[in-house]
Amino acid sequence: MQGNITEGPVLKPVRKERVSRQVFDQLKEQIVKGQWPAGTKLPSEHELSKQLNVSRVSVRAALQMLVALGLLETRHGEGTFVRELSGDIYLNALFPLLALSKTNIFDVLEYRRVMDPGAVVLASERANAEDLAELERIYHQMEKYREDYKAFAHADLEFHLTIAKATKNPIFIKVNTIIRDILNASMEGIVRALGIRDGLHYHREILQALQARDASKAERLMREHVERTIQRLKEGGGT
């Protein structure tokens, strides 16, 4: 049974700094803690902006993020409602944590240095023919896009995400999807700084190790690949 918010949790006026983030945090807290149960209709943007003492633009930005995360849904002609919570929502919460803060690219790469070698081991054991064919297709795209840094960067990220998908582990898949989205904005710049030679070399070798079901070789290559990327970025690119 859906209900409207009349009385209940009192939202606090928001300080001027990082307004959208503060609005987002307050609304998310009400939902995740169950103070606004599934089916609850939220007040209008105008009412929320008055209660929070912020602009409607800030409220709208926060609501859009909550809709994107799956916490809210907008029904045409009816308003905005709280959705049923699912396990994906708690993983989706990683996205604003990373995207709305000034995430250091080296923090993300450090995560990949630890997790990607493990993912490629699982992929070497669990990848099916379709997974391997998709990895090969993406690798050929990378070869094709030697002169197109943006397309090459996109293919690079898809290669790593496809390895995660080949693990058949939903946690690896979800987290790597988020990491892909976080890196998407900066990956083209990384490719421009480092060039494509290393990327092509390591992706080809990793693909061949996966095709051979050589888990130890795939793990070693993936670790080298990410560590070398970190090292070269710290040194300012180059060979």
3-state helix/strand/coil string of the chain: CCCECCCCCCCCCCCCCCHHHHHHHHHHHHHHCCCCCCCCECCCHHHHHHHHCCCHHHHHHHHHHHHHCCCEEEECCCEEEECCCCHHHHHHCHHHHHHCCCCCHHHHHHHHHHHHHHHHHHHHHHCCHHHHHHHHHHHHHHHHCCCCHHHHHHHHHHHHHHHHHHCCCHHHHHHHHHHHHHHHHHHHHHHHHHCCHHHHHHHHHHHHHHHCCCHHHHHHHHHHHHHHHHHHHHCCCCC
199-228 pLDDT, tens per residue? Answer: 999 999 999 999 999 999 999 999 999 999
| Domain region containing 52 | 19-86
> Which of 6-20, 40-54, 169-183 shows the lowest per-residue confidence on average (mean pLDDT)?
6-20
- The band of 116, judged by pLDDT with boundaries at 50, 70 and 90, is very high
102, pLDDT greater than 50: no
147-187 pLDDT, tens per residue? Answer: 999 999 999 999 999 999 999 999 999 888 888 877 877 88
88, pLDDT greater than 70: no
Domain boundary among 56, 86, 116: 86
Tell whether 70 and 114 lie within a shared domain: no
pLDDT, averaged across the chain: 86
Residue-level pLDDT at 95: 55
Question: Does residue 178 belong to any structural domain of this protein?
Answer: yes
Look at 53 and 14; give whichever has higher pLDDT: 53
* Number of domains the chain is built from: 2
Give the CATH number for residue 188: 1.20.120.530
pTM score: 0.63
Question: Does residue 6 belong to any structural domain of this protein?
Answer: no
Tell whether 107 and 198 lie within a shared domain: yes
Question: Does residue 149 belong to any structural domain of this protein?
Answer: yes
Residue-level pLDDT at 237: 62
Q: Which of these, 195, 223, 218, lies nearest to 206 by C-alpha position?
A: 218
